[in-house]
Structures are given as structure tokens and as C-alpha cells.
Amino acid sequence: MAGRAEIFEVGPRDGLQNEKRNIPVAEKIALVDCLSRAGFSRIECASFVSPKWVPQMAGSAEVLDGIQRAEGVRYAALTPNMRGYDDALAAKADEIAVFASASEGFSRANINASIEESLERFAPMLEAARHIDLPVRGYISCVTDCPYDGDVAPAQVAAVADRLFAMGCYEISLGDTLGRASPDKVARMLLAVRDVVPVGRLAGHFHDTGGKAIANIDAALSLGVRVFDAAAGGLGGCPYAPGAAGNVATEAVAEHLERLGYDTGLDLAVIREAAEMARSMRAE
């Protein structure tokens, strides 16, 4: 065995947030309940953002209320500000995630704030979470390429990672939001980030627009990353990253990791079932 590697399932959030069809809450609950049988420790299934910005996530409280919570699974929610934090807590999210960007252009387009303003917004959330031992994950988008600013310097990613980690995020998920990264770029970025955040606290979040997500995962594995975000069925995209296609598919990552000899603790048959369910939720 090559050791343990984990998939952080983001399908019910990152997978569905950009779908055009208004997906009923019951379908989202069914997807999460299916995924809960697959062996994940963490499933992101909610997002307490402005419904004007991301209408698809408007039913997040109902989703968290309706799912059957499996033992040993933490159900996660995105929270952009204190309002989202309060709503996530009221809905009994087991962990939350703040989301920053390594590039100014995407930060402005996605959350209407500069990078610095966004970090200032996150500070009271991390402070409040610390008092109640609520785990907070930190995302960084556009870690190699930005749809607005172009190439992103590894030092910029490292600077944001350093800040989020110092503020108390227990893990930093590094997002190739556009799905345009290459293994070389991923490696250069990770070498810089590893200098400021222990590699055991990093995760890779690859979208697959350019078809290189699995190669990018391999680059990250070779530099010590062992946690990867993925979405069942390969759904996804960000409404503020024009042209970005789906997240790397959970079933593809799980099969790849198993083939390389990693123990993921996942049931591939259940994952395939969830992938099919996720794909069927797409607009016709």
C-alpha cells in the first residue's frame, strides 16, 4: 500500500452550484445520502452565500436539515461572511469553509472584495469558530491561472495560504478554478506553498477543463499532498470563472488512487451510483 489518501467530496456544493436547472432540495438530499454511504469523512453540501449571487445554493439550510447524518462524516458549508457563518451554525454544519483567491481579479468577481478585504471579513469568523472548536477550511482559488488577471505567481498563493493558516484554517485547499493548470505549474506553486504551510495541511482542488486534473493530482501526490477535492459525476464550475468546466470526477480520482495503491476507504460501487445520480441531475 502506498498509504492513505483522502477524497473530500464537494459534488453537492461545487458540483451543483453552477447547474442551470433549479434542482429540488429532495434531489440534493438524495445525493448527499447516497454519498454518505461511500466512506467519505467530509462532504461539502451547503453554501450560505447570497442567493442573488448563486441561486442554486439557496436551499442549503433545508439540505442540511433533511439529510441523514452518517456517523463519522462531517457535513461542510461555504461561508463568505458572518451572516453565512451564523446561518451555517443554525443549520448545524459540522465545519465551514472560507474562500479567498490568489488573484485580485477573481476575488473581486467572486466575492466583491479585494484579497485583503476578504481576509479581514474572515477574521471574525475564524475567531468565533475557535471559541466553539468548529473546524474551518480555507480555499484559495486561481492558484495558477485567473480568468481576469492571467498567470498567478506562486508567491501570491503562498502569501494567502500563510495568512489563512495563521488565522486558524485547519487545511488549505488549493484551487485550479479554471482547470487550466499543468503539472509543472502545480509543482512550482506547491513548492512555494509548502514552505509556509505543512504539506499535510494542504489539499488539491482541480477542475478538469483542460483534461489535466489527474496529471495535476499526480504532481501534487509526488510533492506530498494526500487530500483531493472531487465531485461525483465530474459536475461543477464556478459562475464567476467563465469557461471553467467541471470538477475532477470523484469516481476517476478514487479509481486512480486505488490503482496507485493508496487506501481511500471508499466504496467504488456506491461512488459510481452517486456519480450516476449527480449526472442525472443536470439540465437536459
Contact 169, 138 (CB under 8 A): yes
Pick what 95 binds: ligand HMG, Mg ion, none; C-beta below 5 to 8 Å, kind-dependent.
none
Is 205 one of the binding residues for ligand HMG (CB under 6 A)?
yes
DSSP labels, 171-223 = EEEEEETTS---HHHHHHHHHHHHTTS-GGGEEEEEB-TTS-HHHHHHHHHHT
Closest approach, Cβ 137 to Mg ion, in A, equals 13
Contact 46, 91 (CB under 8 A): yes
C-alpha cell at position 22: 433549479
Q: For residues 37 and 282, which CB has a smaller minimum distance to ligand HMG in the complex?
A: 282
Tell me how many residues contact ligand HMG (CB under 6 A): 25
Is 80 one of the binding residues for ligand HMG (CB under 6 A)?
yes
Pick what 246 binds: ligand HMG, Mg ion, none; C-beta below 5 to 8 Å, kind-dependent.
none
Among positions 14, 87, 176, 208, the unique one binding Mg ion when judged by CB under 5 A: 14
Q: For residues 139 and 262, which CB has a smaller minimum distance to Mg ion in the complex?
A: 139
Closest approach, Cβ 229 to Mg ion, in A, equals 7
The CA distance from 245 to 199, in Å, is 27
Closest-CA residue to 214 (of 261, 182, 262): 182
Q: Which stretch binds ligand HMG (CB under 6 A): 109-117, 189-197, 210-218, 268-276?
A: 109-117
The catalytic site residues sit at 238
Is 175 one of the binding residues for ligand HMG (CB under 6 A)?
yes
C-alpha cell at position 194: 509548502
Q: For residues 6 and 14, which CB has a smaller minimum distance to Mg ion in the complex?
A: 14
Contact 145, 100 (CB under 8 A): no
The per-residue b/e assignment along 177-200, b for 16 or more CB within 10 angstroms, e otherwise, is bbbbbbbebbbbbbebbbebbeee
Residue of closest CB approach to Mg ion: 14
**Window 245-284: residues binding ligand HMG (CB under 6 A):** none
- Amino acid type, 197: V
Helix axes 250-259, 213-222, angle to 10 degrees: 40
Contact 121, 81 (CB under 8 A): yes
Contact 236, 247 (CB under 8 A): yes
Closest approach, Cβ 216 to ligand HMG, in A, equals 13
Q: For residues 82 and 269, which CB has a smaller minimum distance to ligand HMG in the complex?
A: 82
Among positions 11, 12, 45, 48, the unique one binding ligand HMG when judged by CB under 6 A: 48
Q: For residues 14 and 145, which CB has a smaller minimum distance to Mg ion in the complex?
A: 14
SS3 153: coil
Q: For residues 9 and 14, which CB has a smaller minimum distance to Mg ion in the complex?
A: 14
**Window 131-150: residues binding ligand HMG (CB under 6 A):** 139, 141
Is 61 one of the binding residues for ligand HMG (CB under 6 A)?
no
Footprint of Mg ion (CB under 5 A): 14
Footprint of ligand HMG (CB under 6 A): 14, 17, 47-50, 52-54, 78, 80-81, 83-84, 99, 110-112, 139, 141, 175, 177, 205, 238, 240
